Amino acid sequence: MTSRNGPTPPTKFYQEDIVRRISSPNVHGVVLRCWHDSEDLLPIPGPLMDPLMRPLHRGEVGVSFLPGGLREIVHESDYELVDRTFQVGDYCKRGLDNVRSGVVVSTEVQAKLVHAISGEPLSGWKDIRDLRHAANVNAGDYVMHNDWIGQVIQLFDELVVSASGTLVRIPEINSRLTVGDKGLDILPSPPSLQGVHSTCQAAPMPTANDTVVDLKHTVLAVCWLALNQTLERDTAWRKLRPERFWHGEELTKLSVIRTKSGDIRVGDKVILPNNEVVPTMSFDTGTESNGKIVIRTLCVQETRTTVTVLWQDGCREILRSTELVPYLNVDEYDCWPGDHVMWKNEEQERVAVVQSVNSADRVAVIRCADTGTLETVSVLELDPNGTGDMSPDVFNGHSFGVRRGDSVFVHPEGTTNGFAPPRVPKIGEIEEWVREPPVRADGELGGWRRTMADLGARIAADRKAQRFPVYNVRLPRRDDNSLSWFGEVTELRLDGSVEVTHPNMEVSVLPLERLTRLYDSLEQIEDDGWDEEGSEQDSNEDYSEGLWLQDGQGIWRYEKNDDDEWEETDEEPDDMEVDDPWAETKSSPAPDDASPNSLPRNVTPDLADSVSPLPFSPSTTSPDMSQEMVVDNTVKESDEVGQESAWKRFEILSSAPVDHAFYSTPSSQFSRTFLGRLTKEYRALSNSLPDSIIVRAYENRSDLLRCLIIGPENTPYEDAPFVIDWMLDSNFPQSPPIAHFLSWTNGNGRVNPNLYEEGKVCLSILGTWSGDRTEIWSAARSSLLQAFVSIQGLVLVKEPWFCEPAYEKLRGTEEGMVNSRLYNEKAYVLSRGFVRRALEVPLGGLQSEINWLYYTKGKLAKVLKDSRHLIEKSKSEPDSKVDPDIAVPRLTTGGIITLERTLVKLQGFL
């Protein structure tokens, strides 16, 4: 696939890559942002203070240069790759167009060091295992106290800055600075400055040479997450949650846990603890009591990383990290040797451990946990993540198995975590105070941050008046066996057991059921950011005044709302027959906004083909209906009488079916305005629905509808039935309709990125995804017809993988082409199962139409014929070139295995 201007160049850099300027080989930096990153930049009022925060164009990267920390957006063609950072548990590939992937199981990292301030280099390479962080604790570190595990979420620092020949002490919460950082933004406003010694008088003005020469963490804010799982219940109840703020001598009661390998990276400030001779710098404080500040802090300028990769086929390989690329958009069916999975098909669910994977054929060899036997299965029948598990336990928080790099609790021998394998619970209760807003309405620090800042400032003032010792948290000793109840997953064995490395570096081999994963505060806050309810609430805001929109250059601008179409009036209709030009005349069956071709402006070219009509007689429900038509769309006497009359695009049935997703939802009392608008909606549906969509409404529940959409041609969804139940709340049309998708995937993953297994339909017009003003629901401009046709035209498309907003920018890239092809195969196989489900289980209010379409009209025979032809073509031409014009040009062996199971059932229906 190529773009309009030719092939899309491959991605060159990724986050945390170490790069060097081609024209100045001594200039190094670390990549912080790339154009292909999945991110949404929010509008920021005022000037953009951070130079990296503007939208990136293709080929641009945001780089932080070393050692000073200067940040700049540059073009990647001006730089070359020096090293690529990987951690244990990261996924990788040889190239973006490869289907085989691997998992990093170990790393060996060497570093080149320079003095943090002077830049004087140390000779040779240093193993990072001989280094330790200059700061004894950092934000995000785990700490232990009295059988509790917590996480450092905030630090209060005391900085010493050399500014215009004067040493200035700066007490600061949430410091972003480290020793050696320099620049104009180091010094805060003058009133907050304090001299290091009593002779300091006037505060200096900021300059580009202001440099941090010393830093001490004086106060820690710790979110305590969970208790030691080996404690007896009575003992655990007596273990009260520790304090949130730690300072002074109390810091020595904390133990910091650092077991993850490769946690020192380029730009980090480190020290050599073995008293090796290193360059130093000293600064005279000017007082006898404080003496000199001697700086031995070093900066990691460059790294050289070697990784051991476990490939999906089971082989291990040692490679330079620069020979690999990160595997960021992992396919939901991808798994690796040692992974715990659930093998699901129509007949059974079995727990298994992956032994090897043939990624090209999409088949895996698994070891069944119940019998120990080996089976070769399709990866499309494996659930490695638990994403398709809708058991009640899912709401308690669990995943399938554990991953290398996970932090875990260990349960005592003879006990379990309470879950049946492969489910592993995750625990970690984030304290509510952590979520308090950082600032008040007046712009000042608020909540616990205000308390912490006041505490830190008081400690700094006391330290200025009298010299106090500096206390640090402790590191676990190698001979300390008291922390064996916690550790990090470092290996997954093929027999299903797990290797766990404890804080003292001892290794235990444990069964999966004795482990519980730590759900840390950073992970929880990140998950909160993707809260689906929040996104719905935000998208239903009142935009009557205006809203922020991005222009073509990615700049956010505020635009006033000047919509004046489809506005509701205060007049209430006397009955359901409302005179309205929108549904009244023969010559104008519907306005442009309500027509199937009137969709948000990001409609893909697939739409022209996606609503291709089924082979029905146009006389069944002609758009050219008279004004006197009956709203329930019953067939008129003049219509052609025959089997085709069974396919009525719109009809009002007497009662809602009991299998409707919202059947048990109480019906509200609806206003006459609601009913009047509903009449308009019914008329538009009667006139303008394409032949491949049918809708049913109900006399006893005017707030409910059900629609059946037939998958468009030349998409993975061709000829498959998609059923969505709808509910209109009492605020309709001011609020959008509520949709519930009937997913029939048997827990084997989503059939489409916008159609969730639990029923959510993710679409801008429904308020379940953010969009610009032309895409979100508007009472004045939107309609039910538009919602139905949008799903067919914007969701059930030829390349659904790109429906994810983060992936759209990858269209035309090697990564995008590979992932899209694999996703299409999955979508095709799963949607053939939708045909089976629709024929196997009667669907309330639509079963006669389903039977007529698939049996009488021969659609089932076509599905069987097309599927078998595709299977034969895939077997006879497995290595043929993929035709980009065909949605599903061929199937892998794994796809064939799963599809053939479904075809056996479908053949039985004939």
Counted residue by residue, the chain has a size of: 910
What is the rounded average pLDDT of the residues 546-568?
43
Residue 795 neighbours by CB under 8 Å, 6+ apart: 752, 754, 755, 761, 763, 803
pLDDT on residue 235: 93
**pTM (2 decimals)?**
0.80
Residue 612 has pLDDT above 60, yes or no: no
Q: How many CA atoms lie within 13 A of 145 on its CB side?
A: 22
- Model confidence pLDDT, tens digit, residues 770-804: 665 567 888 888 999 999 999 999 999 999 999 88
Residue 150 has pLDDT above 50, yes or no: yes
C-alpha 560/C-alpha 773 separation (Å) is 10
Kindly tell me the burial class for residue 416, based on how many C-beta atoms sit within 10 Å of its own C-beta (0-12, 13-18, 19 or more): middle
Residue 326 has pLDDT above 90, yes or no: yes
What is the rounded average pLDDT of the residues 606-619?
32
Residues noted as catalytic: 762
Residue 816 to residues 138, 311, 657, 757, Cα–Cα distance (Å): 37, 21, 42, 24
- SS3 of 220, please? strand
Lowest model confidence (mean pLDDT) among 12-16, 215-219, 502-506, 555-559: 555-559
What is the rounded average pLDDT of the residues 444-466?
86
Which tokens in the block code for residue 110?
């060497």
Residue 403 has pLDDT above 60, yes or no: yes
Residue 184 has pLDDT above 90, yes or no: no
C-alpha 721/C-alpha 878 separation (Å) is 29
862: confidence class by pLDDT, cuts 50, 70, 90: very high
C-alpha 167/C-alpha 301 separation (Å) is 26
Phi, psi of 607 (to 5 degrees): -60, -35
- H/E run at residue 816: helix 814-840
pLDDT on residue 476: 82
Percent of the chain scoring above 90 in pLDDT: 51
- H/E run at residue 786: helix 784-790
What is the rounded average pLDDT of the residues 287-295?
71
Domains annotated on the chain, with CATH: 8-84 (2.30.30.140), 120-185+208-305+443-466 (no CATH), 306-432+485-527 (no CATH), 650-908 (3.10.110.10)
768: confidence class by pLDDT, cuts 50, 70, 90: confident
Handedness of CA 266, 270, 274, 277 (dihedral sign): positive
293: confidence class by pLDDT, cuts 50, 70, 90: confident
Looking at residue 301, its amino acid is Q
Vertex 749, ends 746 and 750: CA angle to 5°? Answer: 105
What is the rounded average pLDDT of the residues 67-76?
83
Looking at residue 869, its amino acid is H
Which tokens in the block code for residue 415?
């006990």
Strands 269-271 and 71-75: unpaired
CB 893 within 8 Å of CB 879: no
The DSSP call for residue 641 is: P
837: confidence class by pLDDT, cuts 50, 70, 90: very high
Residue 818 neighbours by CB under 8 Å, 6+ apart: 96, 97, 98, 99
- Model confidence pLDDT, tens digit, residues 870-898: 999 999 877 667 778 899 999 999 999 99
CA 880 to chain centre: 34
Written in H, E and C, the secondary structure of 34-102 is: ECCCCCCCCCCCCCCCCCCCCCCCCCEEEEEECCCCCEEEEEHHHEEEEECCCCCCCEEECCCCCCCCE
Which tokens in the block code for residue 292?
């000199």
Q: How many CA atoms lie within 13 A of 42 on its CB side?
A: 3
C-alpha 544/C-alpha 535 separation (Å) is 19
Where b means 16+ CB within 10 Å and e means fewer, 324-348 reads bbbbbbebbbbbbbbbbbbbbbeee
pLDDT on residue 528: 65
C-alpha 83/C-alpha 17 separation (Å) is 6
CB 415 within 8 Å of CB 231: no
Q: Which comes out higher in pLDDT, residue 442 or 538? A: 442
Lowest model confidence (mean pLDDT) among 299-313, 462-476, 525-539: 525-539
Percent of the chain scoring above 70 in pLDDT: 79
Phi, psi of 309 (to 5 degrees): -110, 130
Lowest model confidence (mean pLDDT) among 117-131, 197-211, 352-366: 197-211
Cβ-based neighbour number of residue 304 at 10 Å: 16
C-alpha 133/C-alpha 155 separation (Å) is 15
Tell me whether the omega of the peptide bond preceding residue 736 falls within 30 degrees of 0, making it cis. no
10: confidence class by pLDDT, cuts 50, 70, 90: low
CB 192 within 8 Å of CB 170: yes
Strand partners, 550: 556
- SS3 of 785, please? helix
Kindly tell me the burial class for residue 845, based on how many C-beta atoms sit within 10 Å of its own C-beta (0-12, 13-18, 19 or more): buried
pLDDT on residue 287: 62
pLDDT on residue 259: 59
- Model confidence pLDDT, tens digit, residues 698-741: 999 999 999 999 999 999 999 999 999 999 998 899 999 999 99
- Of 621, 672, 624, give the one whose Cα is nearest residue 649: 621
Which tokens in the block code for residue 237?
């109840």
When computed from its CA atoms, the radius of gyration of the chain, rounded to whole angstroms, is: 32
Cβ-based neighbour number of residue 193 at 10 Å: 19
Angle between helices 893-909 and 859-876 (to 10 degrees): 150
- SS3 of 835, please? helix
What torsion, rounded to 10 degrees, do the Cα atoms 485, 491, 497, 502 define? -10
CA 226 to chain centre: 25
pLDDT on residue 616: 30
- Model confidence pLDDT, tens digit, residues 613-670: 333 323 333 333 333 333 333 333 334 444 456 789 999 999 999 999 999 999 888 8
Cβ-based neighbour number of residue 133 at 10 Å: 17
Q: Which comes out higher in pLDDT, residue 364 or 6? A: 364
Residue 749 has pLDDT above 60, yes or no: yes
pLDDT on residue 906: 93
Residue 14 has pLDDT above 80, yes or no: yes
190: confidence class by pLDDT, cuts 50, 70, 90: low
C-alpha 326/C-alpha 163 separation (Å) is 41
- Of 638, 622, 737, give the one whose Cα is nearest residue 686: 622
pLDDT on residue 771: 60
pLDDT on residue 273: 80
pLDDT on residue 645: 62
List for the chain the helix, strand, coil content (%; round to 5): 20, 25, 50
pLDDT on residue 465: 65
Cβ-based neighbour number of residue 113 at 10 Å: 23
C-alpha 350/C-alpha 563 separation (Å) is 56
CB 609 within 8 Å of CB 714: yes
- Of 116, 93, 105, 275, give the one whose Cα is nearest residue 180: 116
C-alpha 451/C-alpha 457 separation (Å) is 10
C-alpha 304/C-alpha 83 separation (Å) is 6
C-alpha 68/C-alpha 115 separation (Å) is 11
40: confidence class by pLDDT, cuts 50, 70, 90: low
DSSP string for residues in 530-581: T-HHHHHHHHTS--SSEEEEE-TTS-EEEEE----SS---S---SSS----T
The DSSP call for residue 792 is: I
What is the rounded average pLDDT of the residues 383-392?
65
267: confidence class by pLDDT, cuts 50, 70, 90: confident
pLDDT on residue 177: 85
C-alpha 422/C-alpha 270 separation (Å) is 40
Which tokens in the block code for residue 482?
């008291």
- Model confidence pLDDT, tens digit, residues 519-532: 988 778 776 654 44
Mean pLDDT (the chain) is 81
pLDDT on residue 615: 30
CB 315 within 8 Å of CB 307: no
pLDDT on residue 469: 72
